[in-house]
Amino acid sequence: MNEDDIHTSSNGIRHLYVHFPFCARICPYCAFYKTRGNAADLARFCEALLREAGRVAKKFPLTLETIFFGGGTPTVLSTAQLKNLLEQFHEIFDLGGVREWSIEANPGSVSAKKAAALHQGGINRISLGVQSWDNKFLRLLGREHDATQAEESFRIFRGVGFSNISVDLMFALPGQTEMQWRNSLQKTMVLRPEHISTYCLTYEQDTQFLARFERGEFAIDDENEARFLELAMTTLEQAGYEHYEISNYARPGYRSEHNRAYWRGADYIGIGPSAFSTRGLERWQNVADHNGYAQRLFANESPVGSIERLTPAMKRTEHIALGLRTREGIAAGTVDQNQAEKLISNGLLSHYANRFALTRAGKLLADSVAENLL
Which residues of this chain interact with ligand SAM, rule CB under 6 A?
23, 29-30, 32, 70-71, 73, 104, 106, 129, 131, 168, 170, 199, 201-202, 204
Residues from 28 through 47 that contact ligand SF4 (CB under 6 A): 30, 32, 34
Closer CB to ligand SAM, residue 202 or residue 337?
Answer: 202
User: Minimum Å distance from CB 6 to ligand SF4?
Assistant: 32
- Pattern of binders to ligand SF4 over 108-137, x per CB under 6 A? ---------------------x--------
Closer CB to ligand SAM, residue 131 or residue 329?
Answer: 131
User: Minimum Å distance from CB 131 to ligand SAM?
Assistant: 6
CB atoms within 10 A of CB 189: 17
**Cα-based distances in Å from 71 to 30, 217, 224:** 11, 28, 29
Residue 26 site contact among ligand SAM, ligand SF4, none (CB < 5 to 8 Å, cut-off depends on kind): ligand SF4
End-to-end CA separation in angstroms for the chain: 20
CB atoms within 10 A of CB 370: 20
Contact partners, residue 131, CB within 8 Å, separation at least 6: 137, 138, 141, 143, 168, 169, 170
Q: What is the DSSP letter of 196?
A: E
- The window from 5-13, 20-28, 59-67, 82-90 that contacts ligand SF4 (CB under 6 A) reads 20-28
Closer CB to ligand SAM, residue 36 or residue 90?
Answer: 36
| Closest by CA position to 131, among listed 188, 172, 169, 171 | 169
Q: 273 with 14: CB under 8 angstroms?
A: no
Q: Which of 66, 75, 102, 106 binds ligand SF4 (CB under 6 A)?
A: 106
- Our finding on whether 27 is near ligand SF4 (CB under 6 A) is yes
Residue 170 site contact among ligand SAM, ligand SF4, none (CB < 5 to 8 Å, cut-off depends on kind): ligand SAM
Contact partners, residue 60, CB within 8 Å, separation at least 6: 12, 13, 269, 279
Contact partners, residue 309, CB within 8 Å, separation at least 6: 281, 282, 283
User: Minimum Å distance from CB 233 to ligand SF4?
Assistant: 24
CB atoms within 10 A of CB 252: 9
- Our finding on whether 153 is near ligand SF4 (CB under 6 A) is no
Closer CB to ligand SF4, residue 106 or residue 278?
Answer: 106
- Our finding on whether 23 is near ligand SF4 (CB under 6 A) is yes
253: left (phi over 0), alpha (psi -120 to 50) or beta: left
User: Minimum Å distance from CB 370 to ligand SF4?
Assistant: 26
Closer CB to ligand SF4, residue 171 or residue 356?
Answer: 171
Which run of H or of E encompasses 27?
none
Q: Which of 21, 71, 107, 323 binds ligand SF4 (CB under 6 A)?
A: 71
Residue 85 site contact among ligand SAM, ligand SF4, none (CB < 5 to 8 Å, cut-off depends on kind): none
Q: What is the DSSP letter of 264?
A: T
| Closest by CA position to 57, among listed 19, 18, 28 | 18
- Our finding on whether 95 is near ligand SF4 (CB under 6 A) is no
Residue 202 site contact among ligand SAM, ligand SF4, none (CB < 5 to 8 Å, cut-off depends on kind): ligand SAM
d(CA 340, CA 351): 9
Residues found near ligand SF4 in the complex (CB under 6 A): 23, 26-27, 30, 32, 34, 71-73, 106, 129
